[in-house]
Amino acid sequence: MSREQRGPNEKLGAVLALAGISNAGLARRVNDLGAQRGLTLRYDKTSVARWVSKGMVPQGAAPHLIAAAIGQKLGRPVPLHEIGLADADPAPEVGLAFPRDVAQAVRSATELYRLDLAGRRAGGGGIWQSLAGSFAVSAYATPASRWLITPADSSVARDVSPAEGSGAPLKVGHSDVRKLREAAEDARRWDSKYGGGDWRSSMVPECLRVEAAPLLLGAYSDEVGRALFGASAELTRLAGWMAFDTGQQEAAQRYYIQALRLARAAADVPLGGYVLASMSLQATYRGFGDEGVDLAQAALERNRGLATARTMSFFRLVEARAHARAGDAAAAGTALKAAESWLERSRPGDSDPTWLGFYSYDRFAADAAECYRDLKAPGQVRRFTEQALSKPTEEFVRSHGLRLVVSAVAELESGNLDAACEQGVRAVEVAGRISSARTTEYVKDLLHRLEPYGDEPRVAELRERARPLLVTPA
């Protein structure tokens, strides 16, 4: 029933008392949750008594189910460490490994999912607070090189023997994978419309912990396993993107590395390229333009002849962003032209991946504007920003806010203070509707650029409008 005995689990006992759950009640809840996931569990009050009084740790997905059962009663997520069912002191290396072996890859990803993710939001605590400042762009070197050398595992089939006293192992099917893909699709919409720090977005790490982890630890054929790894990779990348949007760079880095490893297990080269592109954007945003170029080019290299035209366009656009941040105007211009050319070659009937649904000419124009902002070419920024803002949509609210800030900066650098403030006011209004530390940082950058004009009434009004945004965590 248990893989180890560590002495009384006082944490679990205390949380059970707090939640008002009896030993029999917890066993029943865990068995019911397991049944919902296709598991046949036979835990009883004696099982729970052993977990509490003797510190026995149940096998497989049971710790996640225990946390979920208690969380349902408390009305909040319960991380494993709170109930004494995770390592007491998670190692700083968790999530940074890119294992060669598939079984180890599953272990690496699920270990990351178990961490306390309460600190994802700006100003939060949890494990990410203790890891703050640990982002290192060099940590991407090994994952990128291993993915380039071998972008797919030979087999990912997993056969799990029944654990003593815990019933038959979870048999994973295509219906389980569809649920994860639906969750990813919902999460993409939440993120674009409400920002990575919105409460809806916080459901993604919970989905990884409660839903994806037990599936990855279950039994599946090679075919189902490939699909499962692909869906898990999408969700993991989304968790990283949302962490990136809330300023939790160290969390984002770990999610991205695991997402790339899962994409390799899925044998999904375009998805792996998408993860690398996300890594590139993070590196570029953090000021590592050269490393951003390397990551974007790694995405491009393996996808030649595999990815659709629109996918290749996006990868070239990400490369342009990195070149621009590195100050290489010629290389950025070449990459932008290539991105536009690929985009023009795309057709509605192409088999584009679902995760690329956000990418259109509007997005191309928005990123091109940011390239020229970094290259200090306000005329080009204004040209592309006008195109990017020509079709505002409620679906991509955060993107619209970022474009407004870029437009304001271009107007300011062109000497149009009135237009800059007007666009700034619109950007602040959008930023106030979403939870995105990245958008707030863009607004702060605009206000910093406006400091020489601080005595101007229009600037003072903009600063006053932005004040609530700046004092409220994104």
pLDDT in tens, 111-138: 999 874 433 333 344 444 444 445 788 8
Residues of the chain with CATH 1.10.260: 1-89
Q: Would you tell me the crossing angle of helices 222-245 and 174-194 to the nearest 10 degrees?
A: 20
The CB density around residue 209, as the number of other CB atoms within 10 Å, is 25
In the structure, how many helices (H) and strands (E) does the chain have?
Answer: 22, 2
**pLDDT score at 121:** 36
**pLDDT score at 473:** 43
Region 58-74: what's the mean pLDDT? 81
- In CATH terms, the fold of domain 360-474 is 1.25.40
Q: What pTM, to 2 d.p., does this model score? A: 0.78
385 contacts 369 by C-beta, under 8 angstroms: yes
Region 391-405: what's the mean pLDDT? 82
Q: Most confidently modeled of 34-48, 107-121, 135-149, 320-334?
A: 320-334
Q: Residue 42 pLDDT more than 60?
A: yes
Q: Would you tell me the crossing angle of helices 361-374 and 397-413 to the nearest 10 degrees?
A: 40
Residues of the chain with CATH 1.25.40: 360-474
Region 68-76: what's the mean pLDDT? 80
Q: How far apart are CA 66 and CA 70, in angstroms?
A: 6
Region 380-387: what's the mean pLDDT? 90
Q: Which helix (H) or strand (E) holds 146?
A: helix 141-149
The CA-CA-CA angle for residues 173, 44, 218, to 5°, reads 20
Q: Residue 6 pLDDT more than 50?
A: yes
Q: How far apart are CA 201 and CA 121, in angstroms?
A: 10
In tens, the pLDDT along 193-224 reads 777 766 666 688 889 999 999 999 999 999 99
Q: How far apart are CA 61 and CA 217, in angstroms?
A: 7
In tens, the pLDDT along 248-305 reads 888 899 999 999 999 999 999 999 999 999 999 999 999 999 999 999 999 999 999 9
**pLDDT score at 25:** 94
Residue type, 349: G
Q: Class of the 1-89 domain?
A: mainly alpha
Q: How far apart are CA 417 and CA 427, in angstroms?
A: 15
